[in-house]
Structure 1
Amino acid sequence: MDSAAVEIDGSVMEGGGQILRVSAALSCITGSAIKIIKIRAGRSTPGLRPQHLTGLQLLSDLCSGSLQGASIGSTDISLTPGKVRSGNHTADTQTAGSVCLLLQAALPCALYADAASQLLLKGGTNAEMAPQIDYTVKVFKPVVEKFGVHFDCDIRMRGYYPKGGGEVVVTAQPLKELQPVSMTDRGNITKIHGRAFVAGVLPFKLAKDMSAAAVRTIRKEIKELYINIQAVQEKEKAYGNGNGIISSLIGPGEAAAAVRMMMIVMMSLTLLPPPQLIIFMALAKGTSRIRTGAVTLHTQTAIHIAEQLTQAKFTITKSEDELSSGVTYIIECQGSGVVNPNL
């Protein structure tokens, strides 16, 4: 391993897989070799799990890198990146590991290639403890487009715990540099859209019951609002058994909020959970500002790694929110302005 490699402590703060994703992605983009130690020390089963190993292998493939020490259970790995390359890349967790988390790590890297990249991601599309693929398409995608990002997401097959089996194809376009964003105005909610779904052996009645319960719950809090929670039975394009409910809040503000059903009634929630945006803020040229609710340890960890591997500087300011009784925070970032050397 190169003696000049930046050492990343995988046990700091939340001590989870996000440290891997953010640090490996930034390594690929900035060209800085890294060594990550004490991987996932904060988890009940430390070290690399299949989805983490798959993600690292995908990133190494994307940047023509040299990956050392990476195997199931590994607690130390080294990554020496090369040139980010376009073309077709495949990652298969062979489990229900989240394809959305694979995308979170790989997408920023693909933006710094010399041409379009196609990512075939296999695993779980609607997994617990990870973003849902619907959330990625309906919320994450339009928000990161504000940074200048352009990508398409084709859900070919949905996959559920424990077998996975989902397939998503993402086509990402390269860019010269990311633009800063300002998302501090939440705006008023005008519509609520969503889908209550069942797949496999689960009965369609369950989807209809979930939809009806969701509408009743929302109506208790908001009397006059357009609500459409569609009941869906997934058949041909679903592998395994699963059910869930996804809802999006639509408004005229600078960003649309999306939260799981149980969180919708807690209207103090704001724009987009910021951990997913930290890497884009850190790479953008200029100052980005977003409003959020409580700044979680997950977010703080992403900021810590971004500041360690880029020249970005973050500040967090408490802000009274006139639209709710809760306190919100403004996360501001002086971005490092990383330019794509391949364009």
Structure 2
Amino acid sequence: MQALQVIDGSVLEGGGQILRNSISLSALLGKPIDIRKVRNGRKPPGLKNQHRTGIELAAEIASATLTGATNGSSTVSFAPKQITPGNYTADPVTAGAATLLLQISLPILLFAPSTTASTLTLKGGTNATNAPQIDYIQHIFLPFARRHFGLNVDVDVRRRGYFPKGGGEVHVTVFPGVEGAKLTAASVLERGAITRIGGIAHVAGLPAHLAKTMADSAIARLAASGFTPDAAVPVPVEIASTREKNENTVGGGSGVVLWAELAGGGMIGGSAVGSKQKDAVGVGEEAANELIKGLEAGGCVDEWLEDQIIIFMALAEGTCEVRCGKHGLTLHTQTAIWVAEQLTDAKFDITVQDSGHTIIRCRGIGYTP
């Protein structure tokens, strides 16, 4: 067994991301860790239901000895043994984000020693604030990760879950590569033209016309900013509007996720979640404004994709390089890099171009089980 490594959970953004990335890397590398001052940057600090559920899921997959995994705990010890492929279920019994359960478990299962797929049944919130919506994972993160890292993952949303009732259900199929396969190194430096803008506006437990209103308002906002099929260089804009069947949701809710596909292989997203305080027009405009902001920043990835790919850059073989926007690296991205460098031999190099764009380069460890 390797020596215990202590991770300071209060560093930089001091939230749940340190927990998720540290546990994933611990499981893959067989490194026992203590995470102290868990979520020290949050009020209240310590584990919440969804964090505990995610750690317990990772412990089950990695046959880990786990201590301190109780709600409110500020110290967690995780000692992995062996990653076992299989069929796993996790349920925070709240509106806790199913996508955050995926973030902690996906890197582990990608390298399960098997030639057959593993499955995850993840329950909770599918479309919540303070976490990627499941549609972001389906239409932005996974297409990017498939193209540039070679991930082979399918996501099927069986039931949507909104705050505060949750109750969503997502089925994930993780196909491992052949034994000994490594993640490919992503090189995404050239942005190229916007080739398409896609999106989905969804409602559940609410009138169907609200979804169309959100989609139409997003299209109108994009058109006002010059992203329109009538522009000199036409950009197809296709935003679907859907209403979930009553039996496919618990409670009501709504949301919008938009994405811009770039010729150079990049993806930029924008999203918004509905609430009683927002009208449908405002929700559509909010998502469009976020997409416009990401496009105007000039990177090949948006600020959310930017931090989610760091762990895969660290695990990949060779040198990854990704052009980010002019906003500078987010605290989440800086934190993900810090965790990766604490637990792996990956080396990151951050440069800011004269144009203001930030380039992340990483010499990955070429991880194999």
Per the normalisation by structure 2, the TM-score is 0.87
Match of 1:324 in 2: none
Residue 120 (structure 1) aligned with residue 104 (structure 2): no
Counterpart Cα distance in 2 of 1:45 and 1:21: 18
Residue 190 (structure 1) aligned with residue 195 (structure 2): yes
Q: Name the SS for the 1:86 alignment partner.
A: coil
CA shift, 1:3, in A, is 9.1
Counterpart Cα distance in 2 of 1:3 and 1:137: 36
Residue 280 (structure 1) aligned with residue 312 (structure 2): yes
CA shift, 1:238, in A, is 2.2
Q: Work out the percentage of aligned pairs sharing the same amino acid.
A: 46
Match of 1:315 in 2: 349
Residue 243 (structure 1) aligned with residue 243 (structure 2): no
Q: Name the SS for the 1:190 alignment partner.
A: strand
- Does the 8 A contact of 1:184 with 1:254 survive in 2? no
- Does the 8 A contact of 1:217 with 1:265 survive in 2? no
Match of 2:364 in 1: 335
CA shift, 1:265, in A, is 2.2
Backbone CA RMSD of aligned residues = 1.4
Residue 133 (structure 1) aligned with residue 161 (structure 2): no
- Does the 8 A contact of 2:144 with 2:265 survive in 1? no
Alignment partner for residue 242 of structure 2, among 220, 228, 232?
232
Counterpart Cα distance in 1 of 2:333 and 2:42: 17
CA shift, 1:163, in A, is 1.2
Could you list the runs of 5+ residues in structure 2 that have no partner in the other structure?
272-286
CA shift, 1:320, in A, is 4.3
Match of 2:265 in 1: 254
Q: Name the SS for the 2:350 alignment partner.
A: strand
Q: Alpha-carbon deviations, 1:212-256, whole Å to 9, x = none?
A: 211111111114232222222112422221111111112322223
- Does the 8 A contact of 2:99 with 2:137 survive in 1? yes
CA shift, 1:167, in A, is 0.7
Alignment length, in residue pairs? 333
- Does the 8 A contact of 1:282 with 1:310 survive in 2? yes
Match of 1:155 in 2: 157
Q: In structure 2, do the counterparts of structure 1 residues 259 and 320 end up closer, same or farther at CA, with 3 Å as the change threshold? A: farther
Q: Name the SS for the 2:194 alignment partner.
A: coil
Counterpart Cα distance in 2 of 1:37 and 1:161: 29
Segment drifting more, 266-275 vs 50-59: 266-275
CA shift, 1:25, in A, is 0.3
Q: Counterpart of 1:47 in structure 2: which amino acid?
A: G
Q: Name the SS for the 1:20 alignment partner.
A: helix
Q: Alpha-carbon deviations, 1:114-156, whole Å to 9, x = none?
A: 1221111111100101001111011111111121211111111
- Does the 8 A contact of 2:21 with 2:311 survive in 1? yes
Per the normalisation by structure 1, the TM-score is 0.94
Q: Counterpart of 2:96 in structure 1: which amino acid?
A: G
Q: Name the SS for the 1:268 alignment partner.
A: helix
Q: Name the SS for the 1:144 alignment partner.
A: helix
CA shift, 1:274, in A, is 1.3
- Does the 8 A contact of 2:34 with 2:76 survive in 1? yes
Match of 1:211 in 2: 215
Q: In structure 2, do the counterparts of structure 1 residues 3 and 215 end up closer, same or farther at CA, with 3 Å as the change threshold? A: closer
CA shift, 1:37, in A, is 0.4
Counterpart Cα distance in 2 of 1:199 and 1:111: 32
Match of 1:12 in 2: 11
Counterpart Cα distance in 2 of 1:274 and 1:141: 13
CA shift, 1:207, in A, is 1.7
CA shift, 1:164, in A, is 0.7
Counterpart Cα distance in 2 of 1:301 and 1:164: 28
Counterpart Cα distance in 1 of 2:122 and 2:3: 32
Could you list the runs of 5+ residues in structure 1 that have no partner in the other structure?
322-326
Counterpart Cα distance in 1 of 2:241 and 2:55: 37
Counterpart Cα distance in 2 of 1:245 and 1:219: 17
Q: Counterpart of 1:8 in structure 2: which amino acid?
A: I
